[in-house]
Structure 1
Amino acid sequence: MQRTLPVLLLALVPTLASAQATDAARALAQDAVIVDTHIDAPGMLMDGWMDLGEEAKGREFDYPKARAGGLDVAFMSIYTSPKQDDNGTAWQVANEMIDAVEALAARHPDKFALLRSPGDVDALRKGDRVLLPLGMENGAPIGDDLANLQFFFDRGVRYITLAHSAANRIADSSYAIERKWHGLSPFGKQVVAEMNRLGIMVDVSHISDESAREAIALSTVPVIASHSAFRHFTPDFERNISDELAKAVAAKGGVVQVPFGTAFVDPKGAADTQAHFRAINDFNQRNAELKAAGKPLESEEAFDKAWAAAHPAPVTKIDAVLDQVDYGVKLVGIDHVGIGSDFDGVGGELPQGLLTTADYPNLVAGLQARGYQDEDIRKILGGNLLRAWAAIEAGAADPKAP
């Protein structure tokens, strides 16, 4: 998720890793395969090149932080906005982001490697490399051409979040007031089938309940929610996954990946986020009316500044994320919960103790303190996602495979 709210100065908020993580937690984090399905570093690279192979001040993901936290597989979010969809730039922006990730790996072949198959994880991560598969957040770059799915698969995209904060050609968004399709569009149904054929994971985060329900039902292989908290804690926030849909994801063999952002795991943060998108909708409508009348438009910068000042992020503890994991495990089972942090995508609005990719040991310590066995923690950290991904890949190779 990309937000327009100002980024907090992370330098002013010291990491709590050394204060909370135990030696046992740090050891497990380094030994386990940690897979985070949502990191928005490519968006940062588009704002201005940063060498993420070195310490990058103010960023939540870079190589030193990732390895300090034990991160092995970092899905790079190829995010495009509804505005870029509307103005026809989404395809170009997505390609530029992929170019940036490829450049990062090429500049540091000893630190990063592109990842295209779960079967390559063990070989490629040797030498402490961090692996960079791609997840496309918003199917807008596909346009209305199914052939673009093959194009982006060939470029390394291994999951696609069908829509983001507005309806597109594929599906409805959970944030939008109006629902264009009430499920998937006719083209969206073709997209799901083609993703299954290619081995691209269908991601139901961000989309409406109707769209998610239909995508899960139509898919012949597991689906994922790459970064969705549980709506149980935020009843009026459709962006978080409902119990019904979480169970459907699990029944299909998929995984719900829990994000860390306070906008998802904190009830007040979720309420403010929902209100923010409603306010953006009203703002855009006002500007459309002003433009039609030939009058000056309201300032988007001033709107964002006023909103941020009136809605400071709530202070949230790491327990909010641990509670999400607990609830998910009880709801759908230990084999169907993982992590999709949304680092570098939530404007620094993160729980205490989970401020950067160096802090996964704090999550491990919290899980151990709550009685989780190391074998189950390994599943949550990445084993579950790799299993689902392998099943999706196998389904593409053999459509009759379960």
Structure 2
Amino acid sequence: MKRLFLLLLLSLINLYPQEIDSALLLKANELAKEITIVDTHIDLPDWLYDEWFDVSVKSDYGEFDFERAIEGGLNVAYMSIYTSPNLEAQGKSKLKADSLIKLVEIMEQLWPDKFKIIKNVSEIKKLNQQEKILLALGMENGSPIEGSLDNLREFYSKGIRYITLAHYKSNHICDSANDPERKWNGLSPFGEEVVKEMNRLGIMIDVSHISDSTFYDILKLSKAPVIASHSCCRFFTPGFERNISDDMIIELAKSGGVAQIAFAGFFLREDINQKYLAGEEQIKEHLKNYNITPGTDSAWQYESQYWTENPVGSATVEDVANHIDHIVKLVGVDYVGIGSDFNGVGDHLPFGLEDVSKYPNLIYELLKRGYSENDIRKIFGENLIRVWEKVEEVSAAQK
């Protein structure tokens, strides 16, 4: 505890060189251990797929491992089962998703004293007193469903408890916010069946990455509240459809849903966003000119090198808190949470939120702004748990 407190103090000194409240920071660190922290988006499985490494011990590789998670007070970590949109045309999406799920199962098998996969919200309260990281599964990109509701049911049986319906390209389910081609103008006919079956099964519908028209189609159709597992507020990045607009936040709240704020700098600030988007265009042009397929190792290596040579600047803990503030002022404290996108955004994380040990820094910032302990309990986990419970209730009523 003392060691972590000193590390957090050092990290915050750079942010607030003349105004550190050590007593408040200590309170933030203690509160992180008391509350239930749920992070709805951590991209660890794809890392393990590319290169297996020991996540049961502390390392400086990526942003997640058991020891750092315990230091930060993390209780429930949603492992992202991410498949590249490029796999859909190859018919390999489900194969990749199944492989990633298996890797999470291997984590539990290798380190049963440290990790436990959960499939029901009641398991959080039952298992939370143990010093384990509870692993839930969220599928990022619905392509692995591959046009079959039987596949969707299979993924439910394997533990998938939310699905981001698309990623950076439109797919057979719906349109993507990142894709200028709008094939369906929202949900496809099959996508409508997917939404209904997700309601029946008890899988949360994730509206991150999807187009605005898809978002409104889902809200009209879904009987259960929805989540944005890792998104930010478009108010701060005007015209950036990947983030959710004020009207969408209002409608999300009306449905009882929750927006989980991501930590990516290019989601958080307009200046960083503009530099990032310009860089993305240059990267696409390079890949096209050199005939490099996006999503491949070669593409990722070039992209990593590009950002190292062309940094776009770093956001801060304050920027994340600004997005939380915006939602709270717009619709109240019951409709916002956190979905970091750790291991998913490279070097684009905010200063002070570099990995899973740093959640207390965000708690500190919120305490500084006058948030109560009860508010923080809601933001860091209880709001998401409430939605998960409601989704299970809607499912139970249909069975």
Which residue in the other structure is 1:330 paired with? 329
Which of 65, 69, 77 pairs up with 1:66?
Answer: 69
AA partner of residue 165 (structure 1): Y
Deviations 1:350-371 (A, max 9, x none): 1111001000000111000000
Please name the residue that 1:41 is paired with. Answer: 44
Superposition RMSD in Å: 2.2
Distance 2:315 2:204 in 1: 31
* 1:309 positional shift: 5.5
Partners of 1:306 and 1:178 lie apart in 2 by 29
Letter in 2 for 1:396: S
Q: Among the aligned pairs, what percent are the same residue?
A: 45
2:227 to 221, 224, 227: 224
Q: Which residue in 2 is equivalent to 1:203? A: 206
Within the alignment, does 1:266 sit opposite 2:273 as a pair? no
Distance 1:388 1:51, change over 3 A: same
CA distance 1:210–1:340, shift in 2 (3 Å): same
Which residue of structure 1 lines up, in the alignment, with residue 313 of structure 2?
314
Shift in Å, 1:22: 1.2
Q: Deviations over 1:111-160 (max 9, x none)?
A: 11001111110222232111000000000100111111110000000000
Q: Pick which of 313-322 and 363-372 moved more.
A: 313-322
Q: Is the 8 A contact 1:237 1:271 kept in 2?
A: no
Structure 1 counterpart of 2:385, which letter? L
2:381 maps to 382
> Which residue does the alignment assign to 2:95?
92
SS in 1 for 2:116: strand
Match of 1:80 among 80, 83, 104: 83
Pair 306,131 (structure 1): closer, same or farther in 2 beyond 3 Å: closer
For residue 238 of structure 1, what is the amino acid of its counterpart?
E
The Cα shift of 1:280 comes to 5.9
CA–CA distance in structure 1, aligned partners of residues 289 and 62 of structure 2 = 35
Cα distance change of structure 1 residues 193 and 235 upon mapping to structure 2, 3 Å threshold: same
Q: TM-score, normalised by structure 2?
A: 0.90
Give 1:320 shift: 0.5
Cα deviation 1:5-57 (Å, max 9, x = unaligned) = xxxxxxxxx96465437111011100000000000011110111111111132
3-state SS of the aligned residue for 2:172?
coil
Task: Tell me, in whole angstroms, the C-alpha distance in 2 between the residues paired with 1:88 and 1:17.
Answer: 49
Q: 2-side partners of 1:279 and 1:250: how far apart?
A: 37
Correspondence 1:343-354 to 2 at 5 A: 343-354=342-353
Question: Cα–Cα, structure 1 residues 171 and 356, in superposed 2: closer, same or farther, change >3 Å?
Answer: same
Per-residue CA distance 1:33-90 (angstroms, 9 max, x = gap): 0000000011110111111111132221110000000000000000001111221211
Aligned to 1:6: none
Q: Which runs of 5+ in 1 are unaligned?
A: 1-13, 292-298
Structure 2 counterpart SS, 1:22:
helix
Structure-2 change in CA distance of 1:82 and 1:235 (3 Å): same
Q: 1:107 to 1:391 in 2, by over 3 A?
A: same
| Gapped regions of structure 2 (runs ≥ 5) | 1-5, 13-23
Residue 97 of structure 1: how far off its partner (Å): 0.6
| Residues in 1 aligned to 2:365 and 2:266: alpha-carbon distance in whole angstroms | 21
Distance 2:44 2:395 in 1: 29
CA distance in structure 1 between the partners assigned to 2:100 and 2:319 by the alignment: 32
- Say whether the 8 Å CA contact 1:192–1:202 is kept in structure 2: yes
Distance 1:188 1:277 in 2: 29
Aligned pairs for 1:2-401 (under 5 A) are 16=8, 18-20=10-12, 22-278=25-281, 300=299, 304=303, 307-308=306-307, 311-399=310-398
Q: CA deviation at 1:305?
A: 6.1
Q: In structure 1, the residue corresponding to 2:230 is in which secondary structure?
A: coil
Task: Check whether the contact 2:38–2:76 (CA below 8 A) recurs between aligned residues.
Answer: yes
CA distance in 2, matches of 1:286, 1:332: 46
SS in 1 for 2:352: coil
State the 1:306 CA deviation.
7.0
The more displaced of 104-113 and 274-283 is 274-283
Aligned to 1:354, the other structure's residue is in SS state coil
Change (3 A) 1:52 1:300: closer
TM-superposed deviation, 1:282: 5.5
Aligned equivalents of 2:45, 2:93: Cα separation in 1: 14
Larger relative CO (CA 8 A, sep 6+): 1 or 2?
A: 1
